[in-house]
Amino acid sequence: MTHLRRISAVATLALAVVPAAGVSPASAAAKPATPDVVRPSANPVKLQSAPRSLSVTYTYEGERRTLADFLTRTKTNGFLVLDGQKIVTERYVDAGRDTRFQSWSMAKSFTSAAVGIALREGHIRSIDDPVTRYLPELRGSGYNGVSIRNLLRMSSGIEWDERSDVPRVQVAANKGLPVKKIAARQVRGWAPGSAFEYTSMNSFVLARLVSQATGTPYHRYVEKKIWQPAGMAATAQIANDGNGDSLGYCCIYATDRDFARFGLLYLRKGKANGRQVVPASWIKTSTRPSSSVNPRYGLHWWLGGEGERDFLAAGFGGQFIYVSPEHDVVVVKSTTSTTPPDQDEALTVFRAVAAEVARTR
């Protein structure tokens, strides 16, 4: 399904109490997972506070609406707008500048960046390699022979239902059960590359791929290759399954300013503090349509659509990092809500914000 309203939503995990298929309740006792700490940069990218009034209105479904109404209606707790490196808007409700928001599926775009860096460093030979070249434990599963590219563009062919399967995996991970064993039990449902099916397990497999290919735990690789060189200013946390594997599909806990720095990294074609952190070629490839099966999706990034250059990372409840190369703007929206947002409306709002930033520059 290509429509943006079917967003990168992890279903309501708070209500999920069913263990993953094949997991016995008795075995779920062991070691509860605690997030891994990711340390900040010694040289953070400087963001200058330069607030200015933005009068943002937009039309959606034939109705004239305002930014203020949108933020209230979607229970937004954090909202930040960058004009280049200038913070022109920053507001918090029941939160603050130091609040570490849960990324949910925005984490998938970080996983994409990690894959791109591992590719540049030669740890991954090609994204057209079968993932089983690097993760032989998956050879007996539905992932056998599936290319890394098809995992990145959510076309793995795995039989999966995001709304029912993710909560079960998340419950298992929180109880300290190895998600890699759940991945190895996935079955083939259709031909890889022939359709789009948003599948969070693909992102877990990609994070594990990064760990195994580089010989470095995923969270430490993100710290050394993304978080610190990209100039993040605060400590973050990355969730894992209690067995050494980061989840990859969700659960980075970070401040809105650091989420904005990640957006800025992509706005600057992978550069931060004068250093090429993510290859420029990977930025271009991952933020362009990855296949005809969903022209609104790149390689773990959602896209603005035909003829548009903007793109966004999106997470359950209304978490967004929006990047507008046209207007040189980054927008971050965070919430503690578990209400599925309308991603089409959010994209419309962010475009109106970016245009207003450019107009008032």
pLDDT tens digits, one per residue of 188-217: 999 999 999 999 999 999 999 999 999 999
Identify each DSSP E strand in the chain by its residue range: 36-38, 48-49, 57-60, 63-66, 76-83, 86-92, 101-102, 236-238, 252-254, 271-272, 275-276, 302-303, 311-315, 319-324, 329-335
Q: What are phi and psi of 322, to 5 degrees?
A: -110, 135
What pLDDT digit, counting tens, does each position of 322-332 carry?
Answer: 999 999 999 99
The pLDDT mean for the chain works out to: 92
pLDDT for 27 equals: 38
pLDDT for 151 equals: 98
**CA nearest to 285, candidates 307, 303, 272, 271:** 303
Q: Read off the tokens for 300.
A: 């773990």
Q: Which of 306 and 111 is assigned the larger pLDDT?
A: 111
CA dihedral 79, 85, 86, 91 (to 10 degrees): 10
Q: What is the pTM of this model?
A: 0.93
* pLDDT band for position 31 (cuts 50, 70, 90): low
Q: Which of 336 and 85 is assigned the larger pLDDT?
A: 85
